[in-house]
Amino acid sequence: MTDTVRDHAPSPTPTVVELSERYPEPEAKPSYWRSRTRSILKHVALIAFGLVMLYPLLWMVASSFKPDALIFRDTGLIPTEFTWSNYSDGWNALLHPFSHYLINSSIIVFGSLVGNLVSCSMAAYAFARLEFRGRNLWFAIMLMSIMLPIHVIIVPQYILFSELNWINTFLPLIVPKLLATDAFFIFLMVQFFRGIPRELDEAARLDGCGHFRIYFRIMLPLSLPALATTAIFTFIWTWNDFFSQLIFLTRPDMYTVPVALRTFIDATSESSWGSLFAMSIVSLIPIFLVFLFGQKYLVKGIATTGIK
């Protein structure tokens, strides 16, 4: 692809383009009906494909309204017998009402959100824009830190947090995020920051702008999609993270949603599948809403804010 860039003979570069805030019209309007038909066909294809994507959720919703005994015998999408009891039972089946676990999860998600947004973007700024000794080495070390499976890290981590007296608190789940241990997001933001034309911040530098101002006033606003991506992923992944929450939280009053969900089922005894499905749906609602409303920030990039 870069070949195309390279192969073309240089021609006079365009002068500074007055930036418009609007998109160009997608097509030069060849014919109203033709584009109309095309758009309808597109929607039909997207909806058909959407059904494939939606099927699991529909199936889960359907199952959550079936009596336990029917979940495995009546696997269709429309329940032959309909019951609300999975929701009322599931909500109250554990030692605490389910809202308790939702609140615990929310606390951890909130802490992680703040942590990842602030500390990862700061580190990313350094890697993307600053010149300092050993930058590539530090970058490699950062990437290596996500290449070891959690299963061999968790025991030393447990011992460490236990020494700090942090077991059964939310600290082992939040503090690492405040300290930018999630290299995924650092790398993500590095890639976005590098997509921002360097002329912008260099001009700001020449005007005497400090790094913090550049980071805060130029880089962050211009990478709103990256921040939105980070926020959405942090929310969803923390919300669903089972293993570390299981290990670090030992008291039922500290349990979170994924840990609580797991206590409905057990490979060795009778499981409450109906309650599991019902509470899974309940716990999906917050992340679905976050996604639905968060995704509009994904598309507020330079393209819409413009560079002034």
- Which candidate, 238, 236, 197, places its Cα nearest to that of 219? 197
Is 206 a binder of another protein (CB under 8 A)?
A: yes
From candidates 109, 192, 218, 256, binder to another protein by CB under 8 A? 192
User: Using CA atoms, how far apart are residues 273 and 270, in angstroms rounded to an integer?
Assistant: 9
Contacts with another protein by CB under 8 A: the residue count is: 162
- Which tokens go with 73? 């015998």
Q: Which residues contact 163 (CB under 8 A, 6 or more apart)?
A: none
Identify residues 144-183 at the interface with another protein (CB under 8 A): 144-149, 151-160, 162-171, 175-176, 178-181
Token pair recorded at residue 176:
């690492």
Residue 268 buriedness (CB in 10 A; 0-12 / 13-18 / 19+): exposed
Question: Scanning residues 70 to 89, which ones bind another protein (CB under 8 A)?
Answer: 71-73, 75
CB-CB contact of 59 with 77 (8 Å): yes
Q: Does 60 bind another protein (CB under 8 A)?
A: yes
Query: Apex CA 94: angle with CA 75 and CA 159, to 5°?
Result: 110
Site for another protein in 121-150 (CB under 8 A): 122-123, 125-126, 128, 130-133, 138, 141-149
Contact positions with another protein (CB under 8 A) in 230-289: 232-233, 236-237, 240, 242-243, 246-247, 250-254, 259, 261-273, 275-277, 280, 284, 287-288
Shorter beta-carbon distance to another protein: residue 218 or 254: 254
Nearer to another protein by C-beta: 19 or 217?
Answer: 19
Provide the minimum distance between the beta carbon of 1 and another protein in the complex, in angstroms, as a whole number. 5
Q: How many residues does the chain have?
A: 308
Nearest to another protein of 83, 169 (CB atom): 169
Binds another protein by CB under 8 A, chosen from 104, 105, 234, 256: 104
How many Å apart are CA 251 and CA 248, to the nearest integer?
Answer: 9
